[in-house]
Structure 1
Amino acid sequence: MVTTITEGVKITVETQYQPEYSNPANEHFMFAYRISIENVGNYAVQLMRRHWHIFDSNSTHREVEGEGVVGVQPIIEPGQSHEYISGCNLKTDMGSMKGEYQMVRLMDNSVFDVAIPEFYLVASYKLN
């Protein structure tokens, strides 16, 4: 699990290899990740966009951008959190992800980026 705080928004990430959805013979490795976005600041915020950097261990890099997370643009009040689960497929059994959320502070409509800390995606059999 990794955690970081940017401008009053705490991001915590947990990952899990998904062997039942993976096919190593065809270079398909599926990972799930759970992200908790906690507002530890004093003002309500809304998550508007996401931007991911995804790295395979074979030096492949790709970027994914889009609105919200899993179809929503949650408003998170002070002391509240939003949690979601998503997934990522890699061509190798190890890799990593990192990125940013674009947020809006609702009291003044100021836009700011929140860092998503780098986290590692590793097939469970590599950890033995």
Structure 2
Amino acid sequence: MSYSTPHDIRVEVETMYVDAQSDPEDNRYVFAYTITIRNVGALPARLLRRHWLITDANGKIQEVYGEGVVGEQPYLRPGEGFRYTSATMIETPVGSMQGRYQLIADDGQSFYAEIPPFSLALPHTLH
């Protein structure tokens, strides 16, 4: 048996190094990330805000706050998903990102979908 809670958002992440926009000689490493957000809960919810912590291998942290994602505040009914691609730049060939989305459900309750740390790395850098 499976049960869904009223507020249950799943987040999947795929990353890719963007060689054409990067310049290693200038410590510029660009990574694209594609996020799939899926509402597996029992209530519809709207994504209101995002908060990212982006860390490079030197420990430098960029903190990013913003409304919605890619200019949108997607409304997700149970079973629906939203997919988008964005990018970030760090000064080292390896780093990580983590964050969370703030959502509000149709019952008026505000809640967070946590995004565990994921790697940003040049191909063949990490095993």
Does residue 112 of the first structure (1) align with residue 93 of the second (2)? no
Q: CA deviation at 1:62?
A: 1.5
Q: What corresponds to 1:48 in structure 2? A: 48
Equivalent residue, structure 1, for 2:75 = 75
The offset of 1:126, in angstroms, is 1.8
For 2:125, what is the secondary structure of its paired residue? helix
Structure 1 unaligned blocks of 5 or more: 1-6
Q: CA deviation at 1:124?
A: 1.2
**Helix, strand or coil: the match of 1:124?**
coil
Equivalences for residues 12-91 of structure 1 within 5 A: 12-91=12-91
Query: Matched residue of 2:118: which SS?
Result: strand
Letter in structure 2 aligned against 1:126:
T
Q: How many percent of aligned residue pairs carry the same amino acid?
A: 41
Q: Matched residues in 2 for 1:88 and 1:123: separation?
A: 13
SS of the residue 1:25 aligns to: helix
Q: How many aligned residue pairs are there?
A: 121
Which whole-Å CA distance do the structure 2 matches of 1:38 and 1:91 have between them?
31
Partners of 1:51 and 1:45 in 2: CA distance: 17
Moved over 4 A (4+): none
Aligned partners of 1:17 and 1:109: how far apart in 2? Answer: 39
- The alignment's TM-score, normalised by the length of structure 2, stands at 0.92
* CA displacement at 1:117 relative to structure 2: 1.6
1:82-104 CA-partner distances (Å, limit 9, x unpaired): 00000010000000000010000
Tell me the alpha carbon deviations over residues 28-54 of structure 1, each in whole angstroms, 9 at most, x when there is no partner.
000000000000011101000000001
* Cα-Cα RMSD: 1.1
Distance 2:116 2:12 in 1: 8
